[in-house]
């Protein structure tokens, strides 16, 4: 991963943990969902009501 940043070994080892996390963050985690994307997923994959009550619920 450090090679992607094109840092020299000296520069990479000189980074503090906070600096390293900051420069690696865009490469490690996907961006969070925005509301429009979430709404699209909810429409594409709606929750179906359960077929029957779970066995632990009293009738």
Whole-structure pTM value: 0.41
State the total domains in the chain: 1
Q: What is the mean pLDDT of residues 19-29?
A: 83
Quick check: is 57 in a domain? no
Query: For 37-55, how does the pLDDT look when each residue is reduced to its tens digit (9 = 90+)?
Result: 999 999 999 887 666 766 6
Listed residue (54, 47, 59, 1) closest to 25, CA to CA: 1
Quick check: is 53 in a domain? no
Quick check: is 55 in a domain? no
Quick check: is 33 in a domain? yes
- Rg (C-alpha) for the chain, rounded Å, is 23
> pLDDT band at residue 31, thresholds of 50, 70 and 90?
confident
Who has greater pLDDT, 49 or 33? Answer: 33
- DSSP 8-state code for residue 55: T
Q: C-alpha 54: how far from its chain's center?
A: 31
> pLDDT band at residue 19, thresholds of 50, 70 and 90?
very high
What residues make up the domain containing 35?
18-42
Quick check: is 59 in a domain? no
Quick check: is 30 in a domain? yes
Instruction: Report yes or no: 1 and 27 within 8 Å, Cβ to Cβ.
Output: yes
């Amino acid at each position: 991963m450090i090679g992607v940043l094109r840092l020299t070994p000296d520069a990479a080892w000189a980074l503090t943990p906070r600096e390293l996390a900051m420069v690696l963050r865009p490469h490690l985690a996907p961006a969070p969902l925005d509301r429009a994307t979430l709404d699209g997923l909810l429409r594409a994959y709606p929750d179906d009501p359960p077929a029957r009550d779970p066995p632990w619920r009293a009738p």
